Each structure stands twice: as structure tokens, then as C-alpha cells.
Structure 1
């Protein structure tokens, strides 16, 4: 049997295993090992080659960004900075119709700039924002929808765990990916805010009628007290990277130290909370490590089988062009988002696509932004929609169903599609800050 045929069988088997409920990294490792065994003819050689792939996957110095940024995100969540961000954002937008919704978007954007984890944003703002919006006259469907929609900013606005994962998978500069994520992240935040205001005027039955002014008046001193620590942390992490003071790894360490110092100064974190944060960080880091090892093994098996090269030749022969290929790729990513989580989609598709797009001269930084945005749309689409399930599990309200949350998130998924179209049509939105 030819190596190409073995690769196709391995791909099909992996799909069946995943659809059957097997954990994606385990499916990747099993099919990679079986595929390498069939290609090389000996299990010993297959095991050695996959062992080298596993070592190469996490031996890099830059893998250190994962535990450090995850640690910073958990400390920020534990110390209540999400509530501070929400209070500041609402104080600035309270006089706008739909202001609490806009404030939620702003707060999520601020929170994203210091955590990079969408699921954390969804959990935090479900507890903070949904009760406040309901109290001020917003409908249940819109209240959960704006939280679900704006939570995805955590994976686009740097620092982003998905951008870090993409950088490790493709060996691209994480600093460049962070910089490229600024424009698309701000574009998404602006679209969400404008869409919220437009919905408040055009569809009051959906957003809420007779909306009261959201939030409370805050003095300048209160605004500074709540906003300054968050602003300082963002400046240390992102400013340090962009101005060349820190590498991404060093910036993650400084961010974790800064977040811990703020938590101690505000007396919001004790030994029990710190232990909980460290355990959660270890669990997430181990999970991400396992994902990256599995992806590296899968990538090696694909390379030996010749599947990506053959698919690349087929794409070139089909004369789809760059835009046609990217649109087809995005459609596949979004469709997979209906049944798989974000990291699993990237683990499966990025190693497959990389050898196809590199000969075409496609900017891998721009491709990473397109990939992450398309993947994030899957967080809001049924039947999987992991952000929706996080919100449902966090809500203390049985009257709000999963269907209500999916329906509330639908307008924001459409806005994300619009943003994706703009970034594909105008790549400079992502690459402009890099001078490309």
C-alpha cells in the first residue's frame, strides 16, 4: 500500500475516532503511530520517530509562554479584575442606549488584554454582567448573547492562548502574532459595540424596552483606583513585548508577577486561592502540552505520507487561487467548529494546510489570524459551542435555555463573519502594524 493511501486511511480513522468520542490528542497519537508503522514497516522505528517529534514539540524555550500566560490569566480572574474592568467600562458607557451591553463588550476587551482565555471571560462575565443587564431591563436572550459574543475577544486580542498555540505549531514569532492580533481584535470589539447600539434602537424587543441607565456614577478617584492596575498590567505585558523590553516568555513572567502583586496589594488573594490557581495552571499547561505533542506527531506522519503535498498539487491544479482556497478553508474550519473545540480544530487542520499554503506565498502570520477568527466562530455555533455551554453551566437561572444562549449569540457570530471577510479582503488589518 502506498504511503499516500496510508495517510488517507489514518486521516479517516482519526475522524471516526473523534466522532466516536475519543479525546482528540489520543486519536491523533494512535493514528500517527499506526500510520508511521505502516509506512516504515516497523513499530520500533515508528516509536523512535514519534518520540523525537514529542521532544521537539516542547523542548523549545518559547513553550514557556503557555504556563506563564495561563498563570497570569487565572490570577487576574481570581483577584476580581474582571469586575473592576466591568465597573470602569460601564461608568464610561452608562449614558448610551444599550450602554450596559457596550460596557460588557469593552470590559471583555480589557479583560482579554490581560488573560487571553475566552472561557475565563465567559465564566467571569456571566456572573457579573448578566444579572446587572437583567436588572436594568435587558432581555435574557440578549444578556447572555452579548456575554457569549464578546467573550471570544479573549482569543483574538493579545495575549491569546490560541495565537500562542498557532505560533508553536507553525514556528512563527509569537510577538508578531500578538501584534497582528491587535487590529482584528479592536475591529471585532468596535463591530460588537456598534452592533449592540444598533440592535438597541432597531430591535428593542430583542435587546430590551425602557432600558434604564446602566451602572452607577463613579468619581474620578474611583475610576483611577479600579482602572489603573488593569492599565498598568496591560502596559507591562504588551508594551514590554512591542517596545522590545521583554520576549513573550519574559512578558508572561512579568505579567504573572504583576497580577500577583496587585492581588496581594488589594488583599484579594490568599494561600488557598493561590494554591487553587497553581493547580489549575498546571492542569491547563499539561493539557496544552499533550495537545502540542499530539499535533507534532500527527504533522510528522502527514509529512511522511505525502498527503499535504498531494493536496497542495490538487489545490494548485484546481486553480482556486489564494482567496478561493482561504474561503474553502474557513468554511471547513467553521463547520468543524460545530462539533470540535478550538484547539482540536487547529491541531487537525493547521499541520495539513501548512505545506499547501507555504508554496503559495501566503503570509503565515495573516493566515494565523484568519484561522483563529474562523475557529472562534465555532465557539458560538451549535451543537458544540463551548462558550455557550460554559455560560449555561455558570448561570444560576434555569429559565434561560441553551437555545436562548445560541439565539442570543447569533448576531455576534454574524458580526464575526463580517470581520473575517474584511480581514481576508484587507490583510493589512492584521499585518499593517508589522509593516507588511
Structure 2
């Protein structure tokens, strides 16, 4: 079978299963097993390949950081440390225009770590913050748009579970990839803040909410009590990675231990919370690792069949310009993001895109950041962005037209950031270049 026939058949059958709502892990394992039978010409060699792929896929030390970071987030959530930090941010913003939209953006980045999914993040804040904003007179487009945009920060700012997952699958160094997300994440945050302020100046945030003044001493005491601990944990984790004191996995272990110590010290974390944390961590980790099982088999089959080599040769022959190739890849990601979630896209595209990255001599960390931002844009792009339908599910009173209009300013902001990073790679690579290894 020619490589293009194999690749088309594999992806076509996988797409059918995903449309039928078969979980992506089982869809990839099922199609991969069937493809192994075709390629290896027998049951025994095919099952040997499948078993070897399954055994080798999740034994990488790199992937250990994922459950540890998820555990850290779960502990901060179950002990209410994260919620208090978010409340303190809300109080500190006082009369800043669009305060709740700002909280949605910051909270989206914080709670995105717990789920590892922008879609889950959208559902969570759609149920909690959206009613609050609407009850205070916020424009529905500003309220919904800020929640839909918030998931983008969870994918970029460290520690990002999805960035770690992509790094492990695409063989991109995890430490530099996490640190590289700081500047793009801050640029996205600044862009979102500009959108909120401009929209609020036009009356989109409703009547001004009265917030009593606090003395400087009260503000400092409250900030230290409610926000210092999680801030220090994140600073220690990133500092260990940046200064080469620990690997990302070791830093994740430090963060998990520190968050557990904070919860116990504050007497907010008992046996019941520990049980819930372990169950939540196990559930999310199992889902992610099950997907990795299928993706590893898929990558090996693409290589063995010659599909990866054939695709790279075909692409480099017909698209010679670096900028043109980058635009093609970004457009493909936008189209895929309209129909399937980010994790599925990562697993499907990594074995196909990374050889192209090598062929064109692109920095893999730089390309990975562009990919992550693009996936967030695709997830909220009308008419088929998946986050739009999640928001419609949790807020059925909002029309699809309203949701489409709500995301346009945020998409424009992300596109500006994406263009800046594409034109000036140093914005992405500056901090990783300063890392001590």
C-alpha cells in the first residue's frame, strides 16, 4: 500500500470514530491495532508491535511531571487555597473596569491546570462566573468572550499540562518549553486586558460595583494570608526549572509536596480531601496516558509505513518557502481545531509536523508555542470551534450569534500575538536562552 493511501485510510477511519464520539484513546488504539495487522501481515507480529508500543509509551520520565502537576493543582483546589487567591485578586482589582472578566481570565489560567482541558475549563467558568457577570449587568458578549478566551492562558503559561504532553509526544525539551511560555502568556494576558478595558469603557461591564477601601496594612495582611502560598509555590517550581536546580519532573514533585504541606498546615486538607485529590489525579492522568498509548503506536506505524517520510518529501517539494509552510500548518490546525479537541490534534499531528519542523530548520520550542496558541484560536473560531458549543451547552440562553460575536476581539488579540511571535522568535526563545542547565 502506498504511503498516502495508508495515511488517508488511517486518518479517515480515525475521524469517523471520533465523529461517532468514540473516546480518542480507544479510537487510536483500535485503528492502530487494525493498521498493524495490515502492515505486519499477521496476528502475532502485529500484537507484538502493539504490546511493545503500549509498554514503552508511558514509561518515559518526562511524563511523570503530568500527574505531579495535576496533583499539585488538585491539592490547591481541594484545600481552597486557589479559590482564596482568586478572591484576593478580585478584591485587589477593586474598581478596575471589567473586574470579573479579568478574574475570569486569571482564573482560567489557574484552574486550567486542574483539568488539562480548555473545554473543561470553559464549562467550569461558564457555570460559575457567567451568571455572576450577567447578574451585575455585564454585556453577554464580554462575559462569554472572557471565559472562552481564558483557556488559552492555561495552555501557554507554565506549568501547562498540555505543553508537557506535547513536549513528551513531540520530543521537545520540557523545561525550555515551559519557560518559553512565560512571555507569550504575558503578551496574551496584556492583549486580553486591553480587550476588557476597551469593552468596559463602552459600558460593557454594567454599573460600577462599590468596593470598600482597605488600608495598606489590611491589604498586605490579606494578600500574604491568601495569595502568598500559591504564588511562592509557582515561583519555586519555575525557579528550579529556570536555574537548572531540578528537572521539570523534580520541580513538579517539589510543587506537589509544597502544596500538600500548605494544605495540611492550614488545616484544610484531611483524609477526605486526600482521597478526592488522588481520585481526581488518577482519573485525569489515566485519561491522558491512555491517549498517549494510542499515539505512540500511531507514530510508530506512520514511520514504519513510510507515511512520515513521504509526507515530508511531498510537502518540502511543493512548498519551498518557510513562511508559506508555516501558514499552511497554521491553517491545517485551525481547521482541525474546529472539529476535535486539542489533545487529539496534538497526538495526530506531532508525528507529521515535527519532521517538517526539522526539514525547515525551525526551532522546535518556538514552533510548539505557535502551535499551542493556534490550537486555542481554533477552539474558539466560528462557526465550529468546540469551546463555542461547550459554552452553548452551559449557557443555552445565549444564541450562537452572540457567542460568535463574543470571541472575535479575543481571536484578533491572539492573532496579533501569534504574528509577533512568528516574526520575532526571540520573544519565545529569550528566556529559555537564559536558562542554566
Distance 1:267 1:119 in 2: 32
Distance 1:9 1:100, change over 3 A: closer
Distance 1:169 1:340 in 2: 18
- Residue number in structure 1 paired with 2:420: 422
Please report how far the alpha carbon of residue 112 of structure 1 lies from its aligned counterpart in structure 2 after TM superposition: 5.9
CA contact (8 A) 2:183 2:428 kept: yes
- Residue number in structure 2 paired with 1:27: 27
Taking the TM superposition and a 5 Å limit, the aligned residue runs for 1:3-402 are: 3-109=3-109, 118=118, 121-122=121-122, 125-126=125-126, 129-201=129-201, 203-204=202-203, 207-213=204-210, 217=214, 219-381=219-381, 385-388=385-388, 399-400=397-398
CA contact (8 A) 1:160 1:178 kept: yes
Please report how far the alpha carbon of residue 431 of structure 1 lies from its aligned counterpart in structure 2 after TM superposition: 1.1
Distance 2:359 2:327 in 1: 18
Distance 2:357 2:278 in 1: 39
Distance 1:114 1:49, change over 3 A: closer
Distance 1:164 1:82 in 2: 21
Distance 2:386 2:3 in 1: 36
- Please list the CA deviations of residues 332-375 of structure 1 after superposition, one character each: whole Å capped at 9, or x if unmatched: 11211111111001111111112222122111111111111111
Please report how far the alpha carbon of residue 17 of structure 1 lies from its aligned counterpart in structure 2 after TM superposition: 2.5
CA contact (8 A) 1:69 1:115 kept: no
CA contact (8 A) 2:379 2:387 kept: yes
Corresponding pairs, count: 431
Distance 1:177 1:157 in 2: 10
Please report how far the alpha carbon of residue 295 of structure 1 lies from its aligned counterpart in structure 2 after TM superposition: 0.7
Structure 1: 5+ residue runs without aligned partners? none
Distance 1:262 1:383, change over 3 A: farther
CA contact (8 A) 1:113 1:157 kept: no
Moved more, 308-317 or 190-199: 308-317
CA contact (8 A) 1:72 1:115 kept: no
Moved more, 298-307 or 262-271: 262-271
The CA RMSD over aligned residues, in Å, is 2.7
CA contact (8 A) 1:118 1:153 kept: no
- Residue number in structure 2 paired with 1:433: 431
Moved more, 357-366 or 14-23: 14-23
Distance 1:116 1:239, change over 3 A: farther
Q: Secondary structure at the match of 1:137?
A: coil
Distance 2:143 2:7 in 1: 46
- Please list the CA deviations of residues 389-424 of structure 1 after superposition, one character each: whole Å capped at 9, or x if unmatched: 65566x6x7644566455433322332222222211
Distance 1:278 1:384 in 2: 35
Moved more, 372-381 or 61-70: 372-381
Distance 2:403 2:261 in 1: 36
CA contact (8 A) 2:29 2:297 kept: yes
Distance 1:53 1:297 in 2: 5
